[in-house]
Amino acid sequence: MDFLLTEEMKMLKDMAYKFAVQEMAPVSRDCDLQEKYTPEIRKKAADNGLVAAWIPEQYGGPGAGFLGNAIITEELSRVDMGIGLNIVAASFGCEGVYFFGSEAQKQKYLPPVCKGETVSAGAFTEPNAGTDVAGYKTRAVKDGNDFVINGQKMFITNATVCDWMLTQCITNPEDKKHNSFSMIVVPANAKGVTRNKIHGKMGIRASDTGEIALEDVRAPQENLVGKQGRGFHQLMHFFDVTRILVAAQGLGLGIACLETAVKYSKERTAFGAPIGSYQISMQKFTEMAIRIEALRGLVYKSAWLVDVGKPDYTLGAMAKYYSGQTAVFCANAAVEIHGGYGYIEEYDVQKWYRDAKILELYEGTKEAEIMTIGRFLVSK
């Protein structure tokens, strides 16, 4: 057993953090205030091997595995979780193509995303069904060699900036609910696709989130990803892997909160001494640090297990659940250490406090993670 990162991973970690400091930090506040997506930073990140880092070299990716991808996500999220998401989620949806797609689909869709030339999206959630993944209503009906798709997707990351969406649709309504879905690649510029950006998010405001309407959209049969009728099961596997990325976001954000709060506590004095010298402050730092270290263990181990071909989906769900808890806890503590200043725009901790909450909501709410973990525990 070896808990040390390889030299290669250490270099990747340093490079990702330097990239974040140089390229993301200077525009972070502006992107948050203006809800600005950052295509140029994403392209630069792709040139540096930070986009779709988990995609193997044979499909044009850097081949850093899911552990490498988690480490990149951690380091980018130490600086800005929203801009970081524009980089690490530029390939969101590619996981479905990689795990279930044909060789031709992999060759067609994956390399351009790795190069930063195209952006993908995963269009699953609908206005009336999020946690209830079997409750989606979007319908794809066969017509000759095409599927004709009608429905609505909600809260889709990269909705208005993507080139294609891996879209969950009902194709087999006559079959049992869980066997009625299929994944279909829908080109974003297809006739009948309408995309609208959602404004006014609480956090990760640099990330593009939108709603998508599909009205008689035609996608050829060859865009079916995996097996017809297996979409629900494929999506479950998809989330099992992608939620590790979300868990890594909370790790990075937690670290940023701890580092920034400790630094501030040495500079700020109260009652004639730095606030960091008071045991109540130290207790906050201690609890933050312990949670961060525990989370690191969950994130790295669950990512590493995917890379060695022994994925532990319950562990991934634990990582995601604990990530939300850790990020929210650390951001709250960091704001408290900053006192009134922590409530003001000029200080990053207020942004991190807003960013953190999404980790308990997307890619499965914390309640959904509890259901996943709990079901496994009682099934034993």
For 158, phi then psi, to 5°, come to: 75, 15
C-alpha torsion angle, residues 82, 88, 92, 98 (rounded to 10): -170
Please give the size of the binding site for ligand FAD, defined by CB under 6 A: 21
Residue 325: Cβ-neighbour burial (10 angstroms; 0-12, 13-18, 19+): middle
Nearer to ligand FAD by Cβ, of 110 and 166: the residue is 166
For the CB of residue 247, give the shortest distance to ligand FAD in the complex, in Å: 14
Stretch 73-102 residues interacting with ligand FAD (CB under 6 A): 92
For the CB of residue 151, give the shortest distance to ligand FAD in the complex, in Å: 12
**Separation of alpha carbons 174 and 168, rounded Å:** 17
Question: Contact at 8 Å (CB) between 166 and 93?
Answer: yes
Nearer to ligand FAD by Cβ, of 101 and 122: the residue is 122
Residue 169, CA atoms < 13 Å, CB-side half-sphere: 31
Tell me how far apart the 2 most distant CA atoms of the chain are, in Å.
79
For the CB of residue 51, give the shortest distance to ligand FAD in the complex, in Å: 16
Interacting residue with ligand FAD among 155, 321, 322, 347 (CB under 6 A): 155
**Separation of alpha carbons 150 and 139, rounded Å:** 5
Catalytic entry in 23, 126, 211, 363: 363
**Which residue number has the CB closest to ligand FAD?**
130
Helix axes 279-307, 313-337, angle to 10 degrees: 150
**Separation of alpha carbons 143 and 132, rounded Å:** 28
Interacting residue with ligand FAD among 27, 141, 213, 361 (CB under 6 A): 361
- Kindly indicate which of the ranges 32-40, 118-126, 300-308, 336-344 contains the residues binding ligand FAD, using the contact rule CB under 6 A: 118-126
For the CB of residue 77, give the shortest distance to ligand FAD in the complex, in Å: 14
Q: Is 305 in the site for ligand FAD (CB under 6 A)?
A: no
Contacts of 296 (CB under 8 A, 6+ apart): 251
Q: Is 365 in the site for ligand FAD (CB under 6 A)?
A: yes
Lookup: tokens for 78: 């130490």
Q: Is 367 in the site for ligand FAD (CB under 6 A)?
A: yes
Q: Is 125 in the site for ligand FAD (CB under 6 A)?
A: yes
Q: Is 131 in the site for ligand FAD (CB under 6 A)?
A: yes
Stretch 192-221 residues interacting with ligand FAD (CB under 6 A): 201, 209
Nearer to ligand FAD by Cβ, of 24 and 368: the residue is 368
Q: Is 122 in the site for ligand FAD (CB under 6 A)?
A: yes
Q: Is 156 in the site for ligand FAD (CB under 6 A)?
A: yes
For the CB of residue 293, give the shortest distance to ligand FAD in the complex, in Å: 27
Q: Is 25 in the site for ligand FAD (CB under 6 A)?
A: no
Nearer to ligand FAD by Cβ, of 289 and 361: the residue is 361
The DSSP bridge partners found for residue 167 are 123, 184
C-alpha torsion angle, residues 98, 101, 104, 107 (rounded to 10): -20
Q: Is 124 in the site for ligand FAD (CB under 6 A)?
A: yes
**Separation of alpha carbons 171 and 191, rounded Å:** 20
CA 27 to each of CA 31, 213, 261, 306: distance values in angstroms, whole numbers, following the listed order:
6, 32, 21, 34
For the CB of residue 355, give the shortest distance to ligand FAD in the complex, in Å: 10
For the CB of residue 311, give the shortest distance to ligand FAD in the complex, in Å: 21
**Separation of alpha carbons 364 and 247, rounded Å:** 11
**Minimal CA–CA distance to 216: which of 149, 126, 151?**
149
For residue 211, indicate whether it is catalytic. Answer: no
Nearer to ligand FAD by Cβ, of 245 and 288: the residue is 245
**Active-site amino acid positions:** 363
The contact set with ligand FAD (CB under 6 A) reads: 92, 122-125, 130-132, 155-157, 201, 209, 358, 361-365, 367-368
